[in-house]
Amino acid sequence: MSEAEPDESGLSTGRMRVTALIVATALLMQNLDGTIVATALPAMAKSFHADPIHMSLALTSYLLSLAIFIPASGWFADRFGSRTVFRAAILIFTIGSVFCGLADSLGMLIGARIVQGIGGAMMVPVGRLLLLKSVRRADMIAATSWFTMPALIGPIIGPPVGGFIVTYISWRWTFGINVPIGIIGIIAVSLFVAEVKDSEEAGKLDLLGLFWSGCAMALLMTGFETIGNGLIPLDASFGCFVAGSLAAYAYWRHARHHPHPVLDLTLLRIHTFANSTLAGSFFRILAGAIPFLLPLMLQLGFGDTAAKSGTITFVAAVGAIAMKPLAQPILRRFGFRASMVGFGALSVIFTLACAAFRPDSPIIWIDLALLFGGVFRSLQFTALNTIAYADVPRARMSAATSFYATFQQITLTLGISLAAGTLDAASAITGHASPTVSDFSIAFILVSLIGAIAVPISARLSPQAGDDISGHHAPPAPVTAVVTAPPPDRG
């Protein structure tokens, strides 16, 4: 029995699709931005006279900003209205993009990426919340697919367009793409998206909790990002770990007694939400590392241009978008548990295949591995992002969206940090001045092993988990009869 109350009110199918497509503007900008920036990292490093591996800070500073500010997104949506906050977030993200294109140093770029992150922290989770609060439970899988399908255009056009711009124009113009998309998104939200506001659920913003959670995430991620790469002394990196752990403990103590904590840990008592959060965390470490590792391997390891690198890496996004319409039929046929176990295992296998890539590898084999890897990662994301909210009551949807999105960004950031740290360590051990193909292979193997942890966690789901939204009807678990001996005859 689902903990979430049945809810048959909601948008019609047509309005659901329109709302999902408009909300997807946010995810389109975020994914387009991320894939273009990853392709442009070597060119940025040359412009700033920085180490290409250290340019991972351009990615992690944005993701870290997301993780710090996302916890407050649900409160702002409830207090001021999802549409209002969503529209303002698109504007902030667009302004941040303009400043990124004007950056003349790595430090200025990082500052502009943090501004982008503040907008993104409100943009994607509030957009998802707006959609989830507007649709019927029976439409959740369809809404998730419609929401994410246009967003996959970003990874499709991002690498080749970004590679073309970097190679033939300038990396600075890669950020300009967000400006027209942002303007169109703001206009569309104003015209076609209804306001969703639950001010009575907002309560009072947990400022102390936001402080402790922000400190914990910032310090822990700084430790992961800097350990062993020479950016700061090694003892300072370990100091970040210690201080971050203490801040996390302080938040845990605080959240136990606060009526409306900024990150509601009691949501982990909902089994499907907890399982998706934990399994998704390991899986997103794998997924977060791939867009960072692939362009660098192709450009630094294989010697390809940014343009050629982009035409190769976009194949994974083609597979992802091609399979989105099949997500609902597959989940209906096999159910969430079997699908998540299968998709997770296949995603790991095709990520491991990237470790075998070499400059003389047939391009057809590289394309096939990336294509199928994109297919199964896409299906896994749909399953994870849907089952997470399957049993969450409507009244707690804002808190659940903030919580889940925070862990999404933490683990995506961790994937990039681990990949960059592994490349640094492998290069140092082997004595290479810059990462070689074999160093990239080590990084792909490591993130694949971490991603594989998600498979047994997904297997712990009930066979009937999410059946009311997928339409799958798993056979009930067998009931073991308990045979008791008759009482002794005392006659």
Q: What does the domain layout of the chain look like in residue ranges?
A: 13-205+262-470, 208-261
Query: Of 192-201, 231-240, 277-286, 329-338, which range is least confident?
Result: 192-201
pLDDT at 491 over 50: no
pLDDT at 474 over 60: no
pLDDT at res. 275: 93
Task: State the average pLDDT over residues 357-372.
Answer: 90
Spell out the long-range contacts of 14-17 with Cβ–Cβ below 8 A and sequence spacing 24 or more: 16/131, 16/134, 16/135, 16/139, 16/142, 16/143, 16/146, 17/146
Task: State the average pLDDT over residues 304-330.
Answer: 76
Task: State the average pLDDT over residues 128-148.
Answer: 71
Distant-in-sequence, close-in-space partners of 314: CB < 8 Å, separation ≥ 6: 155, 156, 157, 158, 159, 160
Q: Which residue has the higher pLDDT, 68 or 388?
A: 388
pLDDT at res. 258: 86
pLDDT at 351 over 90: yes
Query: Of 178-182, 194-198, 383-387, which range is least confident?
Result: 194-198
pLDDT at res. 92: 94
Other Cβ atoms less than 10 A from the Cβ of 265: the count is 12
pLDDT at res. 5: 42
Interval 92-130: pLDDT, tens: 999 999 999 888 888 888 899 999 989 988 887 788 777
Q: Which residue has the higher pLDDT, 478 or 432?
A: 432
pLDDT at res. 483: 40
Task: State the average pLDDT over residues 14-32.
Answer: 76
- Reported residue count of the chain is 491
pLDDT at 145 over 80: no
- Tokens describing residue 404: 């889940």
* Angle, helices 57-69/397-430, rounded to nearest 10 degrees: 160
- Tokens describing residue 406: 């925070």
pLDDT at res. 12: 64
Task: State the average pLDDT over residues 165-183.
Answer: 86
- Residue 248's pLDDT band, with cuts at 50, 70 and 90, is very high
pLDDT at 319 over 70: yes
pLDDT at res. 1: 40
Other Cβ atoms less than 10 A from the Cβ of 169: the count is 10
Q: Which residue has the higher pLDDT, 162 or 294?
A: 294
Phi and psi for 474 in degrees, rounded to 5?
Answer: -75, 150
pLDDT at 91 over 90: yes
Query: Of 77-86, 91-100, 213-222, 478-487, which range is least confident?
Result: 478-487
pLDDT at res. 485: 40
318, with CB counted inside 10 A (0-12, 13-18, 19+), is: middle
Which percentage of the chain shows pLDDT scores above 90? 20
Task: State the average pLDDT over residues 82-93.
Answer: 90
Task: State the average pLDDT over residues 397-421.
Answer: 82
pLDDT at res. 93: 92
> Regarding the domain delimited by 13-205+262-470, which CATH topology (the fold level of the hierarchy) does it fall under?
Growth Hormone; Chain: A; (1.20.1250)
CA neighbor of 137 nearest in space, from 19, 2, 14, 26: 2
State the pTM of this model.
Answer: 0.72
Measured at the CA of 116, the angle between CA 114 and CA 117, to 5 degrees, comes to: 60
Task: State the average pLDDT over residues 137-150.
Answer: 68
Q: Which residue has the higher pLDDT, 135 or 267?
A: 267
Measured at the CA of 380, the angle between CA 309 and CA 55, to 5 degrees, comes to: 35
Q: How far apart are CA 29 and CA 376, in angstroms?
A: 23
Measured at the CA of 277, the angle between CA 203 and CA 399, to 5 degrees, comes to: 10
